[in-house]
Amino acid sequence: MRNNKGLFNNLDWILILIYFLLVSIGLLTIYSVAYNEENASLFSFSEKYGKQFFFVLIALFCGFILFLIDADIYKKFAVPIYFSVIFMLLIVLFMPPINGARSWIGIGPFGVQPAEFAKIASALLLAKYLSSIDLKHQDSKKLFFALSILFLPMGLILLQPDAGTFLVFTSFLFVFYREGVSFDPFFLFFINNLLRLNYKRTWIGVHFIPIAFIFIVLALLALLSNSYSFNLFSYKINGFYLLILSLFLFCTCFGFIFYRFGNKRERKNSIIAVSIAFVLAGLVVSTVHLCFNKLASHQKNRIELFLGIKSDPDGQDYNRNRAMAAVGSGGFYGKGYKNASVSSVKTNHVPESETDFIFCPFAEEWGFLGSAFLLFLFLALIIRIIIIAERQRSSFNRIYAYCVAMILFYHLTINIGMNIGFAPIIGIPLPFFSYGGSSILSFTIMLFLLLKLDSQRMNALS
Amino acid sequence: MNLNNRKYIILFFIVFIGVLYFFRLIHMQLIDVSWKLRAQEISEKRKVIIPARGVIFDRNKNKIVSNITYYNLMFVEKNIVDLDTSSFAKLVNMSVEDVKKRFLEIKKKQGTYYNKNTKKRTSNYLKSRAYPFLIEITASEMATIAPYLNQFKGFYKESTSMRLYPYNNAANILGYIAEVSPQNIKNDPFYKAGYNIGKTGIERYYEKELRGEKGVHYLIKSAQNNAVEPYENGIFDTLATQGASISLGLDIKLQQYSEKLMQNKKGCVVAIEPSSGEILSLVSSPTFDPNLLVGKKNISKNYPALVKNKNKPLYPRPLAAEYPPGSIFKLVQSLIGLQEKVVTPNSSFPCTKSMVGCHNHPKAKSISEAIKYSCNPYYYYLMRKVIHQKENKNLFMDAAIGLEKWVKYMHRFNLGKKIETDIPGLRSGLIPDVRFYNKWYGKNKWKFSTIRSIAIGQGEVKLTPIQMANIAAIIANRGWYYTPHFIKKIENKKIDEKYTTKNQTGINKEYFEPIISGMHKVIYEAGGTARLARIKDISICGKTGTVQNPHGKDHSVFIAFAPKDNPKIAVAVFVENAGFGGTWAAPIASLVIEKYIKGKIEITKKETRVLEANLLINTKNEK
């Protein structure tokens, strides 16, 4: 252990502390959820907590190995790593399906989910590619190539099918935004060629991701307003018209403010911008409204269930209803460790309460104190990773760090969101917390890789 | 293009989600209680423990009603895995077809409900709920099934407590228990669908004492609706307490014997201990085995037959059947006459057969001889003196005044009004009063000669057998009585005060002696009407009655008490369509008395004659 000092030099101990906190709380929660009196030891291998303990040990061992390897190797070998994972994603499609999805490759008694590792491989290749191109002179080929790095695994994952991981891959688009990758090449292609114009850049292309976010919010509003109606002087008015009306009033107010307080040159432009914004928003809302009404009734039903417009607590809404009851019943202090009456494996009201719904038993046992603490812990982890990302000298490191941050952000948003009724029921694990070997292993590798890269950040220029 | 600012936009998204979720957690866990209620609804189960009913003893501490464990074979469809129908059918001794039919039947029985929102009709049957596949399996039957039950997942046994009557007697007294009606549930929150309640008899009257107190266990249930563990280690649980055991004044051995004597006869036996008012025996014949009405299975099989039976075994004759009392009524008339001082013990009236029919007998020289001979004209004269005491010059108004006095006496003997006692189904009988006759004949349009038949216990007068027995008890006590009742002792509770309060008739004690001596003569003197009632070593006092019956053969009635001094038992026997009172009712009463006092029958000739008699063939179907 001569180079022990060197090994653990420059490591970000805050990140490691948060990591160990999350893993141990997760392990204890699995122990409580799946507790079996016959095999009460945390290390009894026949129980899930025993297995998870074993998985954590393997993950830590792998993490330790990563510390021994020089970080440069990842940039060099990003392409072979990426394609070996793609190869595994191909093989997995020929495996026998488990629960209707072909997502496992069996090795002895254990299975591996290649999709979990595809996230790391894609992040590495994306970091390598984006750091190599000159973003000031990008063209549609480069953008298309960058997107292809994501689309290839995404397509294969969709074939399994695994909607959750598919969705998580879209988190990389935030990284595109951070790195200044503009979607202009696509937009300009349409605008310049079809409309015979000659724009150099568009605002939509540059800020595509935040605009997409606003688009999603508008779409949700359109869906919500669609099912809302009220009576006005014996006329039944659909909420859709109310939404259009409020958008119009909103834009008119903005337009008026710009006109009244802006300078002469801004007046004309602002009025045009506000008008365009209104027309676009109206278009979005109408399109969603139109599409929604064209949907088959069972699809409509699903969306309405998700939005909480309809409820079916013992039917289609079962999982969500049980999960929310478990979280809500925790109260301020919670029911106490091992006292989860709704979400323990024994009572089995909340399905998958040791994997995708692990937030339930935790929130039930530790109440608001615990769940708020866990939320802050995850936010602290993500924000810490962004801080780490921003201090990197090489763009490879920064991009990779941002990828890790956004993946964790997505997992957190969707996983906790579905426990509190804010996200659809999509089966993705809570990082470092949920039961599952592939999950703990891939997230540990992902994080330790970042730690290693960060520890060598000073070498980047040399 | 300054890309550095974009990290703030990304951070904004992250913090936005964090704050949003934080407030959502505040709302869900701290403000909105509906999720807590929902969690309780999902995960908690209130299991009510129904206690065993109280046990009933007779006066000699014989257990006459107890409990026995039966089993229900329950199933939860959700938990059934690959049911091997043929071997299961073999186990429960049914055909495969019947097993399939039974499952369908259970589903059908749950009914359906109409969902207004989806406009669909769905069954109330739930796959996750337990239903009984077979009910009321005996312990021995269960013993053959239980060892193989674990081969059939989803099936399990559940024990229930049911009534057991070690003696096949006293069905009319004890009553039976059955599932509660919707009305019961509405009236008393104690009951839920499926509970049992006392439907008749003692079971009904002492329901509140016998049912005990429910216990509640709070459990954490699983999604499969199985109880997983006690909630909070059971600190909120309450124990069920078995119903109080009660003792009755009933002598089950005597009851058994009286029922046997009344076999193949229609009628009643009522025996009372005069010194306490406790009912020793109360027979309604024909009767039935109380075990016929134990449990749903038995009730649905046997109840319809009992209802349809033309001899009406379910009808509580001693309590509800209102018969004209016949000549036994003369005892009460004599006492009223003496108390009103319209006659003396030595009054004599001629046996004027032109007034009313009478049998041939020497002239009654005293009131005790009038009783001995049961002279009808004597009581016409006596009753006329009671009714017409010349208090008003108008004959009609005078009759009304006299009748009013007479009715008052009757009520003091608890005649014409219900005996308020601890069994349901009692009726009041009928003592016609002034209002009754005014309505019948018109005001001031009736006098003694109009209503004279009541003098000898015919006409409008009607008594229930328990009232007749009470008359015997009153005479035995020389003027007072305790309300006849069943209860002797209730565990941890005092019995109602009204059963330990003496009721006075207001007749002077000395007036009873000539009556009692008359009753003695009835049995022991030549010319008495009930020589068949004689018992060796016991001096018995009684009075026969023969009730004219326009629908068929006369009814035979006899009331008696014994021994003459310090009486132990007062009896009334009423045998429908049996003819003269001395022929059947008197010997039956004497056997009941002998059995009670001696514990055995010494001369069995009389017993054999009674046991062998079939008087049911005389009866016609009642309307």
Q: Note whether B43 contacts A349, CB cutoff 8 Å.
A: yes
Rounded Cα distance between B363 and B246, Å, is: 53
Own/partner long-range contacts of A83-91 (Cβ < 8 Å, ≥24 apart): A84/A121, A85/A114, A85/A117, A85/A118, A85/A120, A85/A121, A85/A122, A85/A153, A86/A118, A86/A121, A86/A152, A86/A153, A86/A156, A88/A112, A88/A114, A88/A117, A89/A114, A89/A115, A89/A118, A89/A153, A89/A156, A89/A157, A90/A156
Backbone angles phi, psi at B120, to 5 degrees: -125, 150
Q: Are residues A171 and A293 in the same domain?
A: no
The pLDDT of residue B531 is 83
Q: Note whether B29 contacts A390, CB cutoff 8 Å.
A: no
DSSP state of B581: T
Backbone angles phi, psi at B556, to 5 degrees: -105, 125
Rounded Cα distance between A6 and A27, Å, is: 30
| Chain A contact set for B28 (CB, 8 A) | 324, 327-328, 420
Q: Note whether A347 contacts B18, CB cutoff 8 Å.
A: no
pLDDT, tens digit, 9 for 90 and up, residues B513-544: 999 999 999 999 887 888 888 888 889 999 99
**A396 in Cβ contact with A127 (< 8 Å):** yes
Q: Note whether B29 contacts A367, CB cutoff 8 Å.
A: yes
pLDDT greater than 70 at residue B325:
yes
Decide if A205 touches B, using CB distance below 8 A.
no
The pLDDT of residue A227 is 67
Helix crossing, A318-328 with A395-419: angle to 10°?
90
Rounded Cα distance between B35 and B188, Å, is: 32
Q: Are residues A273 and A322 in the same domain?
A: no
Q: Are residues A406 and A261 in the same domain?
A: no
pLDDT greater than 60 at residue B497:
yes
Domain boundary among A304, A325, A345: A304
Rounded Cα distance between B331 and B338, Å, is: 11
Backbone angles phi, psi at B348, to 5 degrees: -135, 140
- Which of the residues A347, A348, A360, A413 would you substitute to probe the B interface, choosing the one with the greatest number of B C-beta atoms within 10 Å? A347
Q: How far is B51 from chain A (nearest CA, A)?
A: 28
Decide if A340 touches B, using CB distance below 8 A.
no
Three-state SS at B545: strand
| Chain A contact set for B30 (CB, 8 A) | 331-332, 368
Q: Note whether B30 contacts A348, CB cutoff 8 Å.
A: no
Angle (CA) B387 B390 B395, round 5°: 75
Decide if A371 touches B, using CB distance below 8 A.
yes
The pLDDT of residue A3 is 42
User: Which residues lie closer than 8 Å to A195 by C-beta, 6 or more apart?
Assistant: none
Q: Note whether A210 contacts B30, CB cutoff 8 Å.
A: no
The encoded tokens of residue B276 equal 């306490």
Domain boundary among A250, A280, A304: A304
Q: 């397509």: which residue's tokens?
A: A155
Q: Are residues A452 and A413 in the same domain?
A: yes
* Closest Cβ opposite residue A348 in set B10, B39, B223: B223
DSSP state of B538: B
pLDDT, tens digit, 9 for 90 and up, residues A325-359: 899 998 899 888 888 888 887 777 888 888 889 99
Q: How far is A91 from chain B (nearest CA, A)?
A: 35
Q: Note whether A422 contacts B28, CB cutoff 8 Å.
A: no
Does ipTM top 0.95?
A: no
Domain boundary among A304, A334, A364: A304
Q: How far is B238 from chain A (nearest CA, A)?
A: 21
Omega of the bond prior to A161 within 30 degrees of 0, cis? yes
Q: Are residues A33 and A158 in the same domain?
A: yes
Closest chain B residue to the Cα of A383, Cα to Cα = B11
Decide if A173 touches B, using CB distance below 8 A.
no
> Three-state SS across B425-481?
CCCCCECCCHHHHHHHHCCCCCCHHHHHHHHHCCCCCEECHHHHHHHHHHHHCCCEE
Range picked from A262-266, A342-346, A458-462, B301-305 for highest mean pLDDT: B301-305
Q: Note whether B7 contacts A180, CB cutoff 8 Å.
A: no
* Closest Cβ opposite residue A326 in set B25, B39, B220: B39
The pLDDT of residue B355 is 76
Q: Are residues A388 and A300 in the same domain?
A: no
Three-state SS at B242: coil
Decide if A178 touches B, using CB distance below 8 A.
yes
Q: How far is B191 from chain A (nearest CA, A)?
A: 29
pLDDT, tens digit, 9 for 90 and up, residues A1-21: 334 446 677 888 999 999 999
Confidence band (pLDDT; 50, 70, 90) for A462? Answer: very low
pLDDT above 70 as % of chain B: 98
Q: Note whether B38 contacts A383, CB cutoff 8 Å.
A: no
User: Which residues lie closer than 8 Å to B10 by C-beta, 6 or more apart?
Assistant: A174, A177, A178, A386, A402, A406
**Type of residue numbered A54:** F
pLDDT greater than 50 at residue B141:
yes
Strand order in the sheet with B278-285: B278-285, B267-273, B569-575, B555-562, B541-547
The pLDDT of residue A460 is 55
pLDDT, tens digit, 9 for 90 and up, residues B401-455: 999 999 999 999 999 999 999 999 999 999 999 999 999 898 888 988 888 889 8
Decide if A308 touches B, using CB distance below 8 A.
no
Name the more confident of B115 and B168: B168
Q: Cα separations (Å) of B162 from A277, B52, B68?
A: 79, 8, 5
* Closest Cβ opposite residue B17 in set A327, A376, A413: A413
| Chain A contact set for B20 (CB, 8 A) | 422
* Closest Cβ opposite residue B10 in set A174, A327, A348: A174
| Chain B contact set for A422 (CB, 8 A) | 20-21, 24
The pLDDT of residue A7 is 65
Count other C-beta atoms under 10 Å from residue A405's C-beta.
27
Confidence band (pLDDT; 50, 70, 90) for B39? Answer: confident
Average pLDDT over residues A182-204: 74
Average pLDDT over residues A212-223: 75
Closest chain A residue to the Cα of B15, Cα to Cα = A379
> Kind and range of the H or E element at A12?
none
Q: Are residues A169 and A312 in the same domain?
A: yes
**Type of residue numbered A257:** I
Q: Note whether B21 contacts A330, CB cutoff 8 Å.
A: no
Q: Are residues A221 and A291 in the same domain?
A: yes
Q: Are residues A262 and A357 in the same domain?
A: no
pLDDT greater than 90 at residue A386:
yes
Decide if A301 touches B, using CB distance below 8 A.
no
Q: How far is A112 from chain B (nearest CA, A)?
A: 30
| Chain A contact set for B36 (CB, 8 A) | 328-329, 331
Q: Note whether A368 contacts B9, CB cutoff 8 Å.
A: no
The pLDDT of residue B622 is 45
Beta bridge partners of B179: B196
* Lowest mean pLDDT across A107-111, A399-403, B326-330, B567-571: A107-111
* Closest Cβ opposite residue A347 in set B14, B38, B228: B228
> Three-state SS across A279-328?
HHHHHHHHHHHHHHHHCCHHHHHHHHHHCCCCCCCCCCCHHHHHHHHHHH
Rounded Cα distance between B586 and A194, Å, is: 124
The pLDDT of residue B556 is 93
Q: E strands, A18-172, where?
A: 105-107, 110-112
Average pLDDT over residues B2-18: 85
Q: Note whether A210 contacts B9, CB cutoff 8 Å.
A: yes
The pLDDT of residue B411 is 94
- Quickly name the fold that domain B252-302+313-618 has: Beta-lactamase (3.40.710)
| Chain B contact set for A368 (CB, 8 A) | 25-26, 29-30
Q: Note whether A180 contacts B34, CB cutoff 8 Å.
A: no
Three-state SS at B196: strand
pLDDT, tens digit, 9 for 90 and up, residues A282-308: 888 888 888 877 777 777 777 776 666
Closest chain B residue to the Cα of A214, Cα to Cα = B13
Rounded Cα distance between B565 and A318, Å, is: 82
The encoded tokens of residue B235 equal 């600190």
* Lowest mean pLDDT across A186-200, A327-341, B204-218, B385-399: A186-200
The pLDDT of residue A404 is 96
pLDDT, tens digit, 9 for 90 and up, residues B340-387: 999 999 999 988 887 778 888 888 899 999 999 989 999 999 999 999
Q: Give the count of domains, chain A.
A: 2
> Kind and range of the H or E element at A400?
helix A395-419
Closest chain B residue to the Cα of A326, Cα to Cα = B39
Does A200 fall in a domain? no
| Chain B contact set for A382 (CB, 8 A) | 14
Q: Are residues A24 and A172 in the same domain?
A: yes
**A33 in Cβ contact with A343 (< 8 Å):** yes
Q: How far is A397 from chain B (nearest CA, A)?
A: 15
The pLDDT of residue B623 is 38
Decide if A292 touches B, using CB distance below 8 A.
no
Q: Note whether A347 contacts B222, CB cutoff 8 Å.
A: yes
DSSP state of A266: H
Q: What is the domain extent for residue A57? A: 4-181+308-461
For chain B, give every domain's residue range: 69-159, 252-302+313-618
| Chain B contact set for A178 (CB, 8 A) | 3, 6-7, 10
Rounded Cα distance between B542 and B536, Å, is: 15
The pLDDT of residue A5 is 47
Rounded Cα distance between A325 and A342, Å, is: 8
| Chain A contact set for B228 (CB, 8 A) | 346-347
pLDDT, tens digit, 9 for 90 and up, residues B596-620: 999 988 888 889 998 988 888 766 5
**Cα torsion for B325, B329, B332, B335, to the nearest 10°?**
180
Omega of the bond prior to B563 within 30 degrees of 0, cis? yes
Q: How far is B159 from chain A (nearest CA, A)?
A: 25
A-B CB pairs within 8 A amount to: 118
The pLDDT of residue A248 is 81
Q: Are residues A397 and A427 in the same domain?
A: yes
Q: Are residues A250 and A152 in the same domain?
A: no
* Closest Cβ opposite residue B30 in set A332, A349, A421: A332
Q: Cα separations (Å) of B495 from A384, B151, B272, B421, B491?
A: 81, 52, 18, 12, 10
